[in-house]
Amino acid sequence: MSDTIFQTLCDLVKEDYEKTYAYVDKNFKFIRTLTSKVSSHLGCCPGKDLVTIDEKGIQYHPSAPNPDYVCVTDDGYFEFKVGIFVEVPAFNLNNCGQSFYDQGLIPSSGVFFIISTKQEQDIFIVKGVATENGQIVSKDFKINDSDDSSWQNFLDSFTEAAREIFGRNLEYRLSNLIKKLSQQKEPFGFF
């Protein structure tokens, strides 16, 4: 007996479901692999020193299967935030005052990077971070999940960007503050 038209439609939808699930699963597997490789490359503890964060600021263990920390962009990329936390004793504001904090002069103890991935045939395009002339910029990397050597440029660039941000010492922060304040404040006279 031949299939009814309705059964054919049901089969089409079922096949589409299966292909969509496979696509999503492959992308999430890649994202978990990416965060695992970053964590291993940095030598940090996933879930403690390295986390993924959703739009509401909720932290997830990077290997968690929870898809809420990923959003799909208009151009089809799976976008997520990776946070690196350096665990040191909290900076003591009593030594310098609230204004020091308000002006962004305390050292960074964490950084968030936005990373986007998109599967194209057998490779993934990863929009990651890199440094150029001391500036953090977005850069595309082509990674073949089955070729470990294809990860190296991405991992090195990620590490260099993290070093750049964590290396922004007090002199750097003061210099930026002075530039900002000199652009905002007009000299004034008085009687």
Query: Which pLDDT band holds residue 67 (cuts at 50, 70, 90)?
Result: confident
pLDDT at res. 155: 96
Beta-bridge partners for 135: 132
Q: Report how far apart the first and last C-alpha atoms of the chain are (Å, whole number).
A: 101
CA distance 51 to 86: 12
CA distances from 3 to 6, 8, 9, 12, 108 (A): 8, 6, 10, 12, 64
CA distance 14 to 146: 29
Question: pTM for the complete prediction?
Answer: 0.81
21-65 pLDDT, tens digit per residue, is: 999 999 999 998 999 999 999 998 888 888 887 777 777 777 765
pLDDT at res. 120: 92
Q: Where do the domains of the chain lie?
A: 5-182
For the chain, what is the mean pLDDT? 87
